[in-house]
């Protein structure tokens, strides 16, 4: 397993897809957490933000995260989803929206 958590893999273009996984074992209990991410670039186009800011040639990245652990002898898995928008020249998302397992917005951050 790669010890580095990957957010973006280059080249980062429409159709790019990668997977990442990590495991953490608690030092204070016997619990082990596993995280698996699936990241896909699923769209491209123009992004219009509130306030009139417009960005062209933006890539849309979708991430699905599954975090699993054993609780009272049962495997529990929680899912979360996010959509982020990236443009050339910016080293962070222009817009990022996080959703819970019920696909309800939990957080949104814009440039």
List pLDDT tens digits, range 54-86. 999 999 999 999 999 887 778 889 999 999 999
**Residue for token digits 């080293």?**
91
- Interstrand relation of 54-71 and 95-99 (parallel, antiparallel or unpaired): unpaired
0.85 exceeded by the pTM?
no
b/e code 61-78 from CB counts within 10 Å (16+ = b): bebebebebeeeeeeeee
From CA 34, how far away is CA 83, in angstroms rounded? 22
Higher pLDDT, 16 or 73: 16
Q: What percent of the chain has pLDDT over 70?
A: 92
Q: What is the pLDDT of residue 11?
A: 73
Residue 75's Cβ-side half-sphere holds a number of Cα atoms within 13 Å equal to 5
């Amino acid at each position: 397993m790669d010890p580095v958590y990957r957010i973006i893999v280059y080249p980062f273009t429409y159709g790019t897809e990668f997977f990442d996984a990590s495991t953490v074992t608690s030092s204070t209990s016997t619990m082990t957490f596993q995280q698996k991410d699936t990241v896909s670039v699923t769209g491209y186009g123009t992004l219009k933000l509130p306030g009139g800011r417009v960005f062209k040639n933006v890539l849309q990245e979708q991430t699905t995260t599954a975090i699993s652990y054993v609780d009272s002898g049962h495997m529990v898995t929680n899912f979360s989803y996010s959509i982020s928008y990236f443009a050339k020249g910016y080293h962070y998302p222009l817009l990022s929206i996080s959703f819970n397992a019920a696909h309800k917005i939990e957080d949104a951050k814009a440039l």
